[in-house]
Protein backbone atom coordinates (compact mmCIF):
# COMPACT_ATOMS: atom_id res chain seq x y z
CA UNK A 1 0.00 0.00 0.00
CA UNK A 2 1.24 3.45 -0.84
CA UNK A 3 1.99 5.98 1.86
CA UNK A 4 -0.52 8.63 0.55
CA UNK A 5 -3.43 6.18 0.44
CA UNK A 6 -2.87 5.14 4.09
CA UNK A 7 -3.04 8.78 5.22
CA UNK A 8 -6.42 9.39 3.54
CA UNK A 9 -8.57 7.72 6.31
CA UNK A 10 -6.63 9.66 8.97
CA UNK A 11 -7.41 12.92 7.13
CA UNK A 12 -11.13 12.06 7.03
CA UNK A 13 -11.17 11.17 10.76
CA UNK A 14 -9.33 14.37 11.62
CA UNK A 15 -11.75 16.43 9.54
CA UNK A 16 -14.71 14.70 11.19
CA UNK A 17 -13.33 15.38 14.68
CA UNK A 18 -12.79 19.05 13.76
CA UNK A 19 -16.39 19.42 12.52
CA UNK A 20 -17.82 17.75 15.65
CA UNK A 21 -15.67 19.99 17.89
CA UNK A 22 -16.87 23.11 16.08
CA UNK A 23 -20.51 22.03 16.41
CA UNK A 24 -20.13 21.41 20.14
CA UNK A 25 -18.45 24.81 20.58
CA UNK A 26 -21.23 26.55 18.64
CA UNK A 27 -23.89 24.87 20.79
CA UNK A 28 -22.14 25.85 24.02
CA UNK A 29 -21.72 29.50 23.01
CA UNK A 30 -25.27 29.84 21.69
CA UNK A 31 -26.68 28.53 25.00
CA UNK A 32 -24.57 30.95 27.05
CA UNK A 33 -25.88 33.89 24.99
CA UNK A 34 -29.45 32.93 25.91
CA UNK A 35 -28.55 33.01 29.62
CA UNK A 36 -27.43 36.63 29.41
CA UNK A 37 -29.00 39.24 31.73
CA UNK A 38 -31.98 40.75 29.94
CA UNK A 39 -32.49 43.72 32.28
CA UNK A 40 -32.14 47.34 31.36
CA UNK A 41 -28.53 48.28 30.74
CA UNK A 42 -26.89 51.53 29.99
CA UNK A 43 -25.41 54.60 31.60
CA UNK A 44 -28.74 56.09 32.75
CA UNK A 45 -29.61 52.99 34.79
CA UNK A 46 -26.17 52.97 36.40
CA UNK A 47 -26.32 56.72 37.16
CA UNK A 48 -29.72 56.38 38.79
CA UNK A 49 -28.50 53.46 40.88
CA UNK A 50 -25.50 55.53 41.97
CA UNK A 51 -27.80 58.46 42.76
CA UNK A 52 -29.93 56.30 45.05
CA UNK A 53 -26.93 54.81 46.84
CA UNK A 54 -25.40 58.28 47.27
CA UNK A 55 -28.72 59.55 48.64
CA UNK A 56 -28.80 56.77 51.24
CA UNK A 57 -25.33 57.65 52.49
CA UNK A 58 -25.67 61.44 52.25
CA UNK A 59 -24.56 63.12 55.48
CA UNK A 60 -27.35 64.98 57.29
CA UNK A 61 -26.76 67.44 60.12
CA UNK A 62 -29.47 67.55 62.80
CA UNK A 63 -28.97 69.62 65.97
CA UNK A 64 -25.22 69.87 65.19
CA UNK A 65 -24.95 66.07 64.99
CA UNK A 66 -24.03 64.36 61.74
CA UNK A 67 -26.00 61.32 60.60
CA UNK A 68 -26.41 59.46 57.35
CA UNK A 69 -29.64 59.73 55.38
CA UNK A 70 -30.17 55.99 56.01
CA UNK A 71 -30.14 56.70 59.76
CA UNK A 72 -32.71 59.46 59.29
CA UNK A 73 -34.88 57.12 57.21
CA UNK A 74 -34.90 54.44 59.92
CA UNK A 75 -35.41 57.04 62.67
CA UNK A 76 -38.35 58.56 60.78
CA UNK A 77 -39.92 55.15 60.25
CA UNK A 78 -39.81 54.17 63.93
CA UNK A 79 -41.03 57.60 65.11
CA UNK A 80 -43.69 57.84 62.37
CA UNK A 81 -42.51 61.40 61.68
CA UNK A 82 -41.36 62.00 58.11
CA UNK A 83 -41.31 65.82 58.04
CA UNK A 84 -37.55 66.21 58.50
CA UNK A 85 -36.85 63.30 56.16
CA UNK A 86 -39.01 64.87 53.45
CA UNK A 87 -37.23 68.23 53.85
CA UNK A 88 -33.75 66.70 53.62
CA UNK A 89 -34.77 64.50 50.69
CA UNK A 90 -36.13 67.48 48.75
CA UNK A 91 -32.94 69.44 49.45
CA UNK A 92 -30.81 66.58 48.18
CA UNK A 93 -32.72 65.81 44.98
CA UNK A 94 -33.48 69.42 44.04
CA UNK A 95 -29.71 69.96 44.00
CA UNK A 96 -29.08 66.75 42.06
CA UNK A 97 -31.74 67.10 39.34
CA UNK A 98 -32.74 70.09 37.29
CA UNK A 99 -36.25 71.55 37.13
CA UNK A 100 -36.75 69.55 33.93
CA UNK A 101 -36.90 66.23 35.82
CA UNK A 102 -39.62 64.69 37.96
CA UNK A 103 -38.41 62.46 40.79
CA UNK A 104 -40.07 60.46 43.54
CA UNK A 105 -38.57 58.56 46.46
CA UNK A 106 -40.82 55.99 48.11
CA UNK A 107 -40.33 53.90 51.23
CA UNK A 108 -42.07 50.56 51.85
CA UNK A 109 -41.86 47.94 54.58
CA UNK A 110 -43.26 44.46 53.94
CA UNK A 111 -44.93 45.73 50.78
CA UNK A 112 -46.77 48.55 52.58
CA UNK A 113 -45.86 52.06 51.47
CA UNK A 114 -44.94 54.07 54.57
CA UNK A 115 -43.88 57.37 52.97
CA UNK A 116 -43.28 59.04 49.65
CA UNK A 117 -41.71 62.35 48.69
CA UNK A 118 -41.47 63.94 45.25
CA UNK A 119 -41.30 67.22 43.39
CA UNK A 120 -44.82 66.96 41.97
CA UNK A 121 -46.16 70.42 41.27
CA UNK A 122 -42.69 71.94 41.40
CA UNK A 123 -41.63 70.99 37.88
CA UNK A 124 -43.02 71.10 34.35
CA UNK A 125 -42.39 67.59 33.01
CA UNK A 126 -44.54 66.13 30.24
CA UNK A 127 -44.51 62.50 31.35
CA UNK A 128 -46.15 61.32 28.12
CA UNK A 129 -42.96 61.90 26.14
CA UNK A 130 -40.39 61.32 28.86
CA UNK A 131 -38.26 58.32 29.70
CA UNK A 132 -39.06 56.66 33.02
CA UNK A 133 -36.18 55.16 35.02
CA UNK A 134 -36.47 53.51 38.40
CA UNK A 135 -34.27 51.64 40.87
CA UNK A 136 -34.64 50.39 44.40
CA UNK A 137 -32.46 49.50 47.34
CA UNK A 138 -33.05 47.99 50.77
CA UNK A 139 -32.19 48.97 54.33
CA UNK A 140 -32.27 46.44 57.16
CA UNK A 141 -34.56 47.17 60.09
CA UNK A 142 -35.01 45.49 63.45
CA UNK A 143 -36.61 42.04 63.75
CA UNK A 144 -35.36 40.99 60.32
CA UNK A 145 -37.55 43.44 58.42
CA UNK A 146 -36.34 45.36 55.39
CA UNK A 147 -37.30 48.76 54.08
CA UNK A 148 -37.41 49.07 50.32
CA UNK A 149 -36.41 52.50 49.02
CA UNK A 150 -37.40 53.25 45.44
CA UNK A 151 -36.30 56.13 43.23
CA UNK A 152 -38.20 57.07 40.08
CA UNK A 153 -36.82 59.69 37.71
CA UNK A 154 -38.64 61.05 34.67
CA UNK A 155 -36.78 63.42 32.35
Residues 9-27 have pLDDT tens digits of: 788 888 899 899 988 888 7
- DSSP string for residues in the chain: --HHHHHHHHHHHHHHHHHHHHHHHHHHHHHHHHTS--S--SHHHHHHHHHHHHHHT-EEEETTEEEEHHHHHHHHHHHT--HHHHHHHHHHHHHHS-TT-EEEEEEEETTEEEEEEE-TTSS---GGGS-EEEEEEEEE-GGG-EEEEEEEEE-
Which pLDDT band holds residue 32 (cuts at 50, 70, 90)? Answer: very low
What is the pLDDT, as a whole number, of residue 35? 41
Question: Is the overall model pTM greater than 0.85, yes or no?
Answer: no
Question: Which whole number is the average pLDDT over 93-110?
Answer: 87
Amino acid sequence: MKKGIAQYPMFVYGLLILVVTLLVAMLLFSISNELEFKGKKGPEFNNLNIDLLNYIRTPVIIDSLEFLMSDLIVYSYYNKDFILLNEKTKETFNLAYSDKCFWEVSYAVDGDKVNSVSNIGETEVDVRFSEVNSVESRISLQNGKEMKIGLVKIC
